[in-house]
Structure 1
Amino acid sequence: MLAIAAAVVFFIAFIINATETSTDIIFRTPSLMLIGFTLISLHLAGVGAGWQARGRRR
């Protein structure tokens, strides 16, 4: 799930860069790329994967 979110953030950064849109400081292309890299690193670290309810095993 985090990898999909990172892909969306990278796509938005690409569109902003390709159209040379003037945006605020937070939504500049390098800022969005750093957010995407953070999401990818969390995905590779295993965060958000394999959520299971703890219960009795039979």
Structure 2
Amino acid sequence: MVAILAAVFFAVALIMDLADTSAALGPSVFITAGLLCLALHHAGIGTRRPVRNGRRWSYRR
């Protein structure tokens, strides 16, 4: 739950950084985007876990 809240905060910060017209793609944009991706990863968004179904391995979506 905390990771999803952090992802929302980082998304808002990224939008605010991108809305700033004085600096198009500064380091703060990349830092905020990286922290957003990290928070989404910790929340479990975009991860797949292998599941054993009989004889084959498949991935849970």
TM over 0.5: yes
Highest relative contact order (Cα 8 Å, sep 6+), 1 or 2?
Answer: 1
Identical columns (%): 7
Runs of 5+ consecutive residues of structure 2 not aligned to the other structure: 46-61
Q: Which amino acid aligns with 2:32?
A: L
Aligned equivalent of 1:6: 7
Q: CA RMSD in A?
A: 2.3
Q: How far apart are residue 43 of structure 1 and its match?
A: 1.1
Note the alpha carbon deviations across 1:17-45, whole angstroms, 9 max, x for none.
112254x73x2x12211111111101117
TM-score, L = length of structure 2: 0.55
Residues 14 and 21 of structure 1: is their aligned pair in 2 closer, same or farther, counting only changes over 3 Å? Answer: farther
Aligned equivalent of 1:35: 35
Runs of 5+ consecutive residues of structure 1 not aligned to the other structure: 46-58
TM-score, L = length of structure 1: 0.58
Structure 2 matches for 1:12-51, cutoff 5 A? 12-22=13-23, 25=27, 27=28, 29-44=29-44
